[in-house]
Amino acid sequence: MSRRSPSARLFVAVDPPEPVALELAAWARSAARQLHSCAHGAQPALRVLDAELLHVTVCFLGERPVAEIPALAGELADCERPAVQLSLGAPLWLPPRRPRALAIELHDKGDTLAAIQAEVAARLEPAEQDERDHAAARAARRLRPRRFHPHITLARMRAEAGRHRRRSASERVGRSLPPTPALSFAPDELVLYRSWLSPEGANYEALSAFPIG
């Protein structure tokens, strides 16, 4: 009986600079306090992410064999990586119908990051022969072209918050969220990350990074 090769949960992202990440985390804490004050003493529904975890997902790769990581990094190195200019937009509850996370949308000047995303997805989709493997097939479906909506997730609804509570919380705070910071930034690297999941949340390990611009 063959042994399944070890796998890693991977994604490609760009990161906001530290001052922007810190200001975004502060904004999210303010939004979380507002949500808590509307809940009349109930447990806070939002878990705000640490500033160092904030990123813009370019492409989620899912579970991929560890042995593929050098080849994936090589494909990223060959991608076109022109300079990108992003600016913060409005807050978003994701997904809209059953919100589980609070995010801020990003305006992608010239759709440059969208063009990078399209090339990354095309290059890193699992090879056709791997479609027989269910995990690879699921990852391939996630990578197939769809409209790219860049955003930064800032906070997640706690697991114990039920669907009705998540919806009512997002509706209450959606009417009175603090203004989002008027910031723009130019990410300087395209990064291949490995995600490590634990009961306390996810941690991200940068495996390879390639300069943008």
| CATH number of the domain residue 166 falls in | 3.90.1140.10
Domain of 43, in residue numbers:
7-211
Kindly tell me the sign of the dihedral angle through the C-alpha atoms of 81, 192, 145, 123.
Answer: positive
Q: Which residues pair with 184 in a beta bridge?
A: 87
Cα–chain center distance at 61: 12
Q: Which tokens is 144 given?
A: 């197939």
* 65, part of any domain: yes
Closest CA to 59 of 15, 120, 8: 120
* 73, part of any domain: yes
Higher pLDDT, 166 or 21: 21
Closest CA to 29 of 10, 54, 62: 54
Can you give the pTM of this predicted structure?
Answer: 0.82
CA torsion 212-58-26-50 (nearest 10°) is -100
Closest CA to 113 of 85, 141, 143, 151: 85
93-139 confidence digits (pLDDT tens): 898 777 889 999 999 999 999 999 999 999 998 754 444 455 655 55
Q: Which tokens is 169 given?
A: 């919380």
Residue 62 binned pLDDT confidence (cut-offs 50, 70, 90): very high
Q: Which tokens is 210 given?
A: 């390639």
- Total domains, the chain: 1
pLDDT of residue 149: 93
Residue 42 binned pLDDT confidence (cut-offs 50, 70, 90): low
CA gap 113, 148 in Å, rounded? 9
**What residues contact residue 212 under an 8 Å CB cut-off, 6+ apart?**
14, 81, 82, 83, 84, 116, 186, 187, 188, 189, 190
* 2, part of any domain: no
* 152, part of any domain: yes
Q: If residue 132 lies in a helix (H) or strand (E), which one and from where to where? A: none
Q: Which residues pair with 196 in a beta bridge?
A: 203
Closest CA to 86 of 41, 152, 153: 152
* 1, part of any domain: no
> Which of 30-39, 56-65, 200-209 has the lowest average pLDDT?
30-39
* 157, part of any domain: yes
Residue 194 binned pLDDT confidence (cut-offs 50, 70, 90): very high
